[in-house]
Structure 1
Amino acid sequence: MRMAHPQGRGVPAISRAKRTGWTRLGTTALAAVALVGLTLPAGAQAEPPAFSRDYAPAPGRDLGRDVLGADDGWAAEGAGTTGGAAADDAQVFTVRTRAQLAAALDGGSPVPKIIYVRGTIDANTDAQGRPLSCADYATDGYTTEKYLTAYDPRTWGGQKPSGPQEEARAASAARQAERVELAVGSNTTLVGIGRDAVLKGASLQVKDASNVIARNLELRDAYDCFPVWQPNTGGLGDWKTAYDNIWLRGANHVWVDHVTISDKGHPDAAEPTYFGRNYLRHDGLLDITNGSDLVTVSWSRFADHDKAMLIGNGDNVTTDRGKLRVTLHHNSFKGVAQRAPRVRFGQVHVYNNAYEVPEGADYRYSWGVSTESRIYAENNAFTTPGHVEAADLVKSWNGSALHQSGAEFNGYPVDLLAIHNSYNSGSERDLEPDVGWTPALHGPIDGAAKAAKDVARGAGAGRIG
């Protein structure tokens, strides 16, 4: 289970620091930013979030003040998505460290703010900016070896882990969550400067927030030090991890644009196998759940990952009906095994995206059609090696409908709906072409081949024209 971000703990220190110019943090601020259980050396000061104002955009253009264009996907509905464009000068920050980023985010406050990210920020760092390893977070006697011994299915069986080692794992996980989970509040724009702005190890949590923009950022390796064993998942059991690079929960009017998200640095494929299952360290790249709505994801790269994007988190979450309206356009999905996306309930417009399966890569499917999902897919391009067939691209779990048109598979036009219905072996009912809605909020829709070339040139962090 994901640990909740301790919202508001740093607010008193932040308010005081704004008055004093961040020259020194008092004891309240030290308590707010220090990792629980990691003491500071005698006389040490927490790293001062000395925000700078040195962002120099091209003449006439400030990415921090950009707003989503009219009709650019579901996030343009109604009043549209403007993020922190209305922020006054006192709420415009340039950040270079985790401490500065956390302070600028202000515990997820709704005050309009623009946060420029410069260089690489590592979320797994202490109050002085020193790197923290998994061993630094471990507490109460937790070790991977002891955990594996305690919950080996051959002796533990199929019960959910409990007892001292599971309690120690949960306590250790909570310590890491305090560092890597960062709450992003309403009316926020988070934007990278230049071509090399990176958030490493961070999980951006957009919870119950509205009007948020994230652009021109590379988000990599939201690495979970303490996966939990779930004995009965999938019949054979599996490892469950905690962190998405971006997780939208109950969020609305969100624009994610020109981001690059991957496991870079710690691919799950390089992790060992325990209990016959890969010891996963990463959850989703970008998950949109818990009634989130009116989201546009554009010109972004999702790479080298297992489960990329979940839209809707449960077949029985009927409160999601009428929500989860998402547009995905001009995105690259390369080396992604599944969930690109998997959808429950939502009305999701998927157009002009490029999908690439590298030779030898693990691959399961791209579009997951689940309970009451209404995917409207247009002019998407798929490039795969010989062992991946067109029938593999769509998978249904209790789905009923899929609109698709204009798809190309290795350069040839294909009807993915007809292929799916012909090759699903009767394991699922045929999907109908009528999804009950037609997208109205979108830009020009190009042919799949042209879109794939445009995506190759223009998608991802550092490529905003």
Structure 2
Amino acid sequence: MPARMCHARAIVLVMGCASLALAVSVPAQATGHHPAPRHNNGIERAVLPKGDGWAAAEGSTTGGAAATPDHIYTVSNRAELVAAFEDAGDAPKIIRIDGTVHGNSDADGTPIGCEEYESDGYTLDKYLAAYDPATWGREEVPSGPMEDARLASAKLQKAAVNVYVPSNTTLIGVGRDATVVGASLQIQDVSNVIVRNIAFEDTYDCFPQWDPTDGDTGHWNSEYDNLVVYGSDHVWVDHNTFSDGDHPDADQPRYFDELYQQHDGLFDIVKGADLVTASWNVLKDHDKTMLIGNSDGAGDTDRGKLRVTLHHNLFKDLNERAPRVRFGQVDSYNNHFVATRGSVYGYSYGIGAESRLVAEHNAFTLAGEFDQAKILKKWSESSLTAADNYVNGRRTDLVAVHNAGVPEEQLTEGAGWTPALRTGVVHPLLVPLLVDLKAGVGRIPGA
């Protein structure tokens, strides 16, 4: 359906025109994991509204809305979360997170430290001594006993951190403070998943790899994203908050004169994933934020897929990849991009191999130290549509500003398609107020 555009007359029009999540008043029942939980007034059975982005195409996204009472779970630790996924299988299920779930934890849910995974004699001090460029050099990647020990240790952590979400699932936070810390939710090779009302924090890698051949000076490379959609379709990610929590990379030490980076992405959509809507989320305080398509060489897998809608999300104080797009037919509208004074800002939209990005009706609030020409970053020869975007309150032609400011990276206009699956499009001048007020965990109406 054609998009509807609201005009900036009054806040009441914003609230009336905004497409907020629908709720069906069907009481959910617990299965006995815990005493009677707090209720979310029926939002557990909400489905993606009709026409709300790519996840509404070619069918619908209903998650676990049809769950029977025996497939409704309330969990408060990793073991309970995994058990609920395994118990229900692919049957429709509603899984409510009540409190904080730690990925790095023991069987009772008590958080554990990185030392609990150390194997085969690994310690960071020994690793640093083995691969110090002063003795190892910079021509070869690490190998030998201490790299093998790092890999063995990393394998143990991976088994704890990665948690796999099955098909026909609604995963939803209870109340306003549901949190997943240090776990990587994997929506891999499944269909029909809804994730709402959860704070995803600090999915950190205990065992980053040193690669002296990465770039001119070498880099520390880490694993794990807070949330990954991998080879899956019909996924709705709504009203969540993604960040590094209390463990930002900026606070980490430097080894071999490079930042010891323990985080990868916040939320990636990769490897043939398709029909995804991400709405009303907050992604903040991070470096590598969101990939849509993870490789220039994945055309056989990704062409015709990676259809993603991003709307009414807050992207705040992010260095890059908000998102970086390869192959995807991506519609990004009514998002608010913020870079505050003193933060690190590289770019917002990365234009990658065969990408077809439409970026319209967005708002950018950038501190004066940042160059507006760098909102867009050209990685490969691809075209995009970028219309009716506002930077610091002024309508701005992002492509023209980029081409004038970065003459060696000329972009061409015209993504070659027109989005039709949009709801509640508002004037970009109203986006900062609306998104900052309504996006993120704890802000679903009725939660």
Q: TM (normalized to structure 2)? A: 0.90
Give the partner amino acid of 1:423: G
Matched, 1:269 2:264: no
Instruction: Tell me the alpha carbon deviations over residues 96-132 of structure 1, each in whole angstroms, 9 at most, x when there is no partner.
Output: 1111111111189322211001011111111122221
User: What's the counterpart of residue 289 of structure 2?
Assistant: 308
Q: Distance in 1 between matches of 2:378 and 2:35?
A: 50
Matched, 1:161 2:146: no
Equivalent residues in 2 for 1:21-40 (5 A)? none
Q: Distance in 1 between matches of 2:172 and 2:314?
A: 20
Structure 1 contact 124–201 (Cα < 8 Å) conserved: yes
Structure 2 contact 71–88 (Cα < 8 Å) conserved: no
User: What's the counterpart of residue 463 of structure 1?
Assistant: 443
User: What's the counterpart of residue 66 of structure 1?
Assistant: 46
Matched, 1:329 2:311: yes
User: What's the counterpart of residue 83 of structure 1?
Assistant: 63
User: What's the counterpart of residue 368 of structure 1?
Assistant: 350
Instruction: Tell me the alpha carbon deviations over residues 372-393 of structure 1, each in whole angstroms, 9 at most, x when there is no partner.
Output: 1111011111111111021011
Q: Distance in 2 between matches of 1:167 and 1:307?
A: 27
Report deviation, 1:134.
Answer: 0.6
Q: Distance in 1 between matches of 2:198 and 2:424?
A: 25
Equivalent residues in 2 for 1:117-132 (5 A)? 117-132=97-112
Structure 1 contact 401–433 (Cα < 8 Å) conserved: yes
Greater displacement, 98-107 / 377-386: 98-107
Report deviation, 1:399.
Answer: 3.1
Q: Distance in 1 between matches of 2:32 and 2:126?
A: 42
Report deviation, 1:52.
Answer: 3.5
Matched, 1:192 2:173: yes
Stretches of structure 2 that go unaligned for 5 or more consecutive residues are: 1-30
Matched, 1:414 2:396: yes
Equivalent residues in 2 for 1:168-183 (5 A)? 168-183=149-164
Matched, 1:141 2:124: no
Matched, 1:115 2:100: no
Percent identity (aligned): 50
Matched, 1:246 2:227: yes
Structure 1 contact 55–116 (Cα < 8 Å) conserved: no
Report deviation, 1:276.
Answer: 2.1
User: What's the counterpart of residue 11 of structure 1?
Assistant: none
Report deviation, 1:53.
Answer: 6.9
Structure 1 contact 230–239 (Cα < 8 Å) conserved: yes
Q: Distance in 1 between matches of 2:399 and 2:439?
A: 27
Q: Distance in 2 between matches of 1:365 and 1:108?
A: 42
Q: Distance in 2 between matches of 1:125 and 1:268?
A: 21
Give RMSD over aligned pairs.
1.5
User: What's the counterpart of residue 83 of structure 2?
Assistant: 103
Q: Distance in 2 between matches of 1:85 and 1:55?
A: 18
SS in 2 for 1:441: coil
SS in 2 for 1:235: coil
Q: Distance in 1 between matches of 2:88 and 2:384?
A: 37
Give the partner amino acid of 2:390: E
Q: Distance in 2 between matches of 1:436 and 1:381?
A: 23
Report deviation, 1:179.
Answer: 1.3
Q: Distance in 2 between matches of 1:160 and 1:364?
A: 27
Give the partner amino acid of 2:58: G
Higher relative contact order (CA 8 A, sep 6+): 2
User: What's the counterpart of residue 396 of structure 1?
Assistant: 378
Give the partner amino acid of 1:130: T
Greater displacement, 61-70 / 333-342: 61-70
Mark the CA change 1:361 to 1:348 in structure 2 (over 3 Å): closer, same or farther: same
Report deviation, 1:200.
Answer: 0.8
Instruction: Tell me the alpha carbon deviations over residues 398-446 of structure 1, each in whole angstroms, 9 at most, x when there is no partner.
Output: 13211111111111111001111222232x3x22211111101111321
Structure 2 contact 101–109 (Cα < 8 Å) conserved: no
Matched, 1:340 2:322: yes
Give the partner amino acid of 2:177: D
Greater displacement, 152-161 / 386-395: 152-161
Q: Distance in 1 between matches of 2:168 and 2:139?
A: 45
Q: Aligned to 2:367, which of 376, 385, 388?
A: 385
Instruction: Tell me the alpha carbon deviations over residues 298-337 of structure 1, each in whole angstroms, 9 at most, x when there is no partner.
Output: 0000010001100001111112111100000000011111
Q: TM (normalized to structure 1)? A: 0.86
Matched, 1:256 2:237: yes
Report deviation, 1:76.
Answer: 0.4
SS in 2 for 1:72: coil
Greater displacement, 94-103 / 293-302: 94-103
User: What's the counterpart of residue 453 of structure 1?
Assistant: 433
Give the partner amino acid of 1:285: L
Q: Distance in 2 between matches of 1:224 and 1:217?
A: 21
Matched, 1:54 2:33: no
Give the partner amino acid of 1:142: Y
Q: Distance in 2 between matches of 1:275 and 1:393?
A: 31
SS in 2 for 1:234: coil
Q: Distance in 1 between matches of 2:272 and 2:413?
A: 25
Q: Distance in 1 between matches of 2:381 and 2:88?
A: 36
Equivalent residues in 2 for 1:193-208 (5 A)? 193-208=174-189
User: What's the counterpart of residue 3 of structure 1?
Assistant: none
Q: Aligned to 2:335, which of 349, 353, 363?
A: 353
Q: Distance in 2 between matches of 1:55 and 1:187?
A: 22
Q: Distance in 2 between matches of 1:110 and 1:155?
A: 52
Give the partner amino acid of 2:60: G
Q: Distance in 2 between matches of 1:200 and 1:107?
A: 23
Give every structure 1 segment of 4 or more consecutive aligned residues whose post-TM-superposition deviation is greater than 3 Å.
Answer: 55-58
SS in 1 for 2:106: coil
Give the partner amino acid of 1:368: G
